[in-house]
Structure formats: structure tokens, C-alpha cells
A and B are shown apart, each in its own frame.
Chain A
């Protein structure tokens, strides 16, 4: 090892220089603004005035005196938990189907993947039209089965389920990662189950699921972080309504800062979001020893 290091004497110097953009970028675009957000959260700062330190005033107001915040938390958690669970299950099932050595895999994979790269603005427009209560496709389809018209995003109770439904359409990114994970499951394990006379259920339950838990874990964490930051559907489709039922958190931050000009207040909201996401992520991480299976851990 020591000999390798001497092969190129300036290696460390080059290493630091080449990593510099990322390090500087982290300081300028991540750490700096993050610290600033934490400080500004303790100020009263309307866009036109100068920031004035007011202690925990913003946080007090948010937690005890802001009914939009409560609505926003409810909408965001409802959307995130519902959307993440359903998307992960659906993406996993699709990936398993695609992993059955089917013909036309590239075609199927593309079909299921495309919605996830559709520009959010374009899919938002499309789905407003699909959700249209009078002329939209969805109510027409429901009509075939004799189901009465739904109001979809135009009803306080239906708006979040409707948006969850729409988010499942975008399962492609999660699915591709599951598919990659499935293809990495060692074939011998399946053969071993077969030799022991196991059925497809045994293969699924005792090989596929355990071997896929790290991938499920990765997808779960990424999906939670992504879902909590949903913005476009509220901005384009619902304007946070009806009656704040889809006032997703990042949209509320956006409104506070850039429409109402409450910069300090918006920073405080952002700090709270940071801790909420941190809490959710920690719960998932803490739970992982109980259900995530790592090959290397077993070997040890």
C-alpha cells in the first residue's frame, strides 16, 4: 500500500485541488445557506425591512397560532406516507413482473418509466385535464363501471388521495432501482429453494424479500425525502386548496417567502421541515436493523 502512494508524489495535492469545487460548493450552496436559514428563522424580516432578532417568536407563532401550518403538516404527511407506501409497493410489483425474463422488457420498462421523467409542469397540466369532473378521462372510465363522478382535486376530502393516485403514475424511478436490485439477487439462492421443493411463494418470501431489503430501504428513504418536498402539483393544480387541503409544506414556504414576503417566518418554517424530515429519516434508519438484511453482516 505504502508503495502505491509513492507512485505519484503529488497525488494528495491533486486530490484536494480536484475535489475543491465540491467542497466549495458544499460550503457556499449548502452549509452557508443552511446556517443562515437557522439564524434567519429567529428574525422578523419582511422583504422591505431589515432583519430584526426576535428570538423564538416565529416558532411560537407557527406552532401555536398558525392554522395553515397545521393544515399544511397534515396534507404533507398524509400525501407523503400514503404516496410513498403505495408507490413502493406498486413499483416493487412491477419490477418483479419485469424481472420474469419477459420478452419486450425494454418496451415495458420504457412505458413504466416514462411518466417519471415527464416534466412536472406537463404532467400537472395533463392531470388537471384527466381529473376534470365533467369531461375528464377518469370520471368517464368510472362511469363505465357505474361509479358516480368524483370531484378529484376539486374536493377537500378527495384532493390528497387524487394527488397520491397521480404520484403512483410516477413510480418509474423507484421501479428501475428495484429492477436493478432484483437482477443482483444471486440465482443460486433460488435454485437452492427449488431443490428443497419450495414454491414460488417460498422463493419470494425467503429469497427475494430479504435480499431486496437494502434496496427497499434506499428507495424508502429517498421517496420520503422527495415526497415531503412536493411543490409543483400544489403550485399548478390546486393552489393549495380547496380550503388548504393540499397546502403542501414547500408550497407554503414558497408562499410565505415569495408571495407574502415574510422571509424570517419562511426560514423558520424551513427549519421545522428540516427537523421533520430528519425525524422521519432517523426512524427509518433506526428501524433498519430489524428488517434490512445485509449480506456482509451475516458473514461476520
Chain B
């Protein structure tokens, strides 16, 4: 009985690994295809059956692709939007989540419940009136539509995520600080935020990815090529170099790389943040 059990456990383990390895290979294959195409000569890309090692190895694809369109400008624009958006989201979502999690005021939970309903609201419903509002304010073709809303709590999802985390911190810590004469802001910065690093980093990474990947916003609001972000720049680049797959793949790698980098740097906190905030519902 005992032996039978170990054998079956071992079979399960082996099977698990086999499935995981096959699955990972399938999931990685598109990336491998992307990277190998980005280093190839155009001729080699079209060889059938496909070759996997670029020969010659063309680093120049990257230089040629990046200079074929003003990608540096696109990059700067994206960074500017990112800077103003990210700071707004992180700052105001922390403040709002703190109020909803740890300060008592009349109507708090009711208002929070109403805010939560907007998680279910399709963004398409607010899209056109928001566009008109920015048009009236003279905000078209500026970065304001893509950054200013971030300063209003940064979105209910992030507030929810942080609030869940803040709720797990013992309230006695706040009380002790209040006894010492601290005000709520002081409690927030000196007690709650330092204890909530994984959640804050999770919000920052989520938002970074969201802003970096956003396509619809820039398409609607930015019409001047000087204002283009990387995402919109890449889509324009595509229409100019339709069949130049080596350039298209090189440019895609460049847009993809920062996201992967940020993910790897924050990964430890990020996974912890998702787990601990009870994002699982």
C-alpha cells in the first residue's frame, strides 16, 4: 500500500513536469519566433521550412527600424505620460484607499460600494463624452487627457487593491501613533505605506503596464505625430513597413522589452501583492 502510493505520487509528479514543460514551450514559442525574426535578413525570414538561427545575425535591424521612424521621440512622449500618470495614480490611490480602509466617516462604506460599481462599467460608455469634455477644455492633442484623470484616485481597481491590503494592518499601530499626537497623514506615511510595499509596488507595476500598453487613449487624443506614444508609433510604423517583418519584429521587441524588465524587477513584490491583497475575490 505504502509503496503503491509513492509510485503513484512519482508518476503524478513526472506527468506534471512533462505537461508544464510542453505548455511552457508552447507559450514561449511565439516569443522565440519574434526574437529570431528580429535578427534575420528579410530573405531568411521567408525560408521554408523555417530556420531558427539568424545567419547572418543582423543587429542592424534594430538600428534601421528605430531610425526609420522617430522612435526616440515616441519613447520620450511615453515616458512623460508615464511619469505624470504613474505619480498621480500611486499618490492619490494610496490616499483614497487609506481613507476607505482606516478612517471612519459617515457614508464611507456606502460611497465605496458605489465607486466599486464602476469596475463593471465598460469604458466605451464614458469614452465619447470624455473626449468631448477634453475637446471643450482644449485638451485635444495634449498629454492632459492621458495624465490628469490619474490624479483622481487613479481608478477604483487600485483603490480596492490597496484598501484590501491596508485592512490587514493592525489598527493598534495607528492608535499608538495618534496617542503620540500624529495626524492621519503622518500615520499613513510612517506606518501604513511602509508596511504595504508589495501592494503599492503591485499597483505601480499594473499601472505602468496599463499606460505603456494603452493604445485607444493615444489614438483618440493625440493626432500630431510629434505627440505619438510608442504604442501608436508602432501601429503607424506597421502601416508604413507592411511586409518588412524583420523591422516590425525588431520594433515590437523594443516596445515589449521595458515591460518585461519592469516585471522582472518587481516580480517578487508583484506576485506577493496579488496574493496578499485577496485579489482572488
Contacts and interface: CB of A to CB of B under 8 A. Distances in A.
Given A11-B104, A214-B281, A236-B235, A26 B129 contact: no
B159 interface: yes
Interface stretch (A56-64, A66-74, A107-115, A151-159): A107-115
Given A127-B30, A176-B271, A15 B105 contact: yes
Question: From DSSP, what is the main secondary structure of chain A's interface residues?
Answer: helix
B249 A126 contact: yes
Contacts of B115: 22-23, 26
Contacts of B120: 221, 225, 277-278, 281
Contacts of A33: 125-130, 133
A25 B153 contact: yes
Interface residues of A, number: 96
Interface centre among A21, A34, A36, A273 (most CB of B within 10 A): A21
Interface string B124-156: 111111111100000000000000010111001
Interface in B202-242: 209, 212-213, 215-216, 219-220, 231, 234-235, 238
A85 interface: no
Nearest to B49: A140
B124 A273 contact: yes
B68 interface: no
Contact of B279 (A118, A180, A200, A273): A180
Interface in A242-298: 249-250, 253-254, 257-258, 263, 266-267, 270-271, 273-274, 277-278, 281
Nearest to B153: A22
Interface stretch (B56-64, B79-87, B178-186, B193-201): B178-186
Contacts of A94: 23
B13 to A, nearest CB: 7
Given A37-B125, A177-B279, A114 B24 contact: no
A120 B213 contact: yes
A278 B125 CA distance: 12
Given A23-B111, A125-B249, A184 B104 contact: no
A29 B125 contact: no
Given A119-B259, A122-B256, A267-B128, A225 B122 contact: yes
Contacts of A34: 121, 125-126, 129
Contacts of A235: 215-216, 219, 235
Contacts of B220: 254, 258
Given A169-B30, A273-B122, A281-B120, A253 B256 contact: no
Interface size class of B (residues with CB under 8 A): 35 or more
B175 to A, nearest CB: 6
B274 interface: yes
A137 B126 contact: no
B273 to A, nearest CB: 10
A274 B140 CA distance: 26
B127 A253 contact: yes
A169 B23 CA distance: 11
Contact of A110 (B118, B128, B267): B267
B68 to A, nearest CB: 15
A145 interface: no
B235 A215 contact: no
A10 B23 CA distance: 56
A71 B248 CA distance: 31
B245 interface: yes
Given A119-B259, A270-B124, A125 B152 contact: no
A172 to B, nearest CB: 9
A129 interface: yes
Given A14-B184, A140-B49, A102 B17 contact: yes
Contacts of A10: 183
B129 A37 contact: yes
Nearest to B245: A129
Contact of B128 (A181, A257, A274): A257
20 contacts: A10-B183, A11-B184, A15-B99, A15-B103, A15-B108, A18-B99, A22-B115, A25-B153, A37-B128, A40-B129, A98-B20, A110-B267, A118-B256, A123-B30, A129-B33, A129-B37, A129-B249, A130-B30, A140-B48, A177-B274
In the A-B complex, the 8 residue pairs with the smallest Cβ-Cβ separation, listed nearest first, are: A25-B152, A218-B281, A22-B153, A15-B105, A15-B103, A36-B129, A33-B126, A33-B129
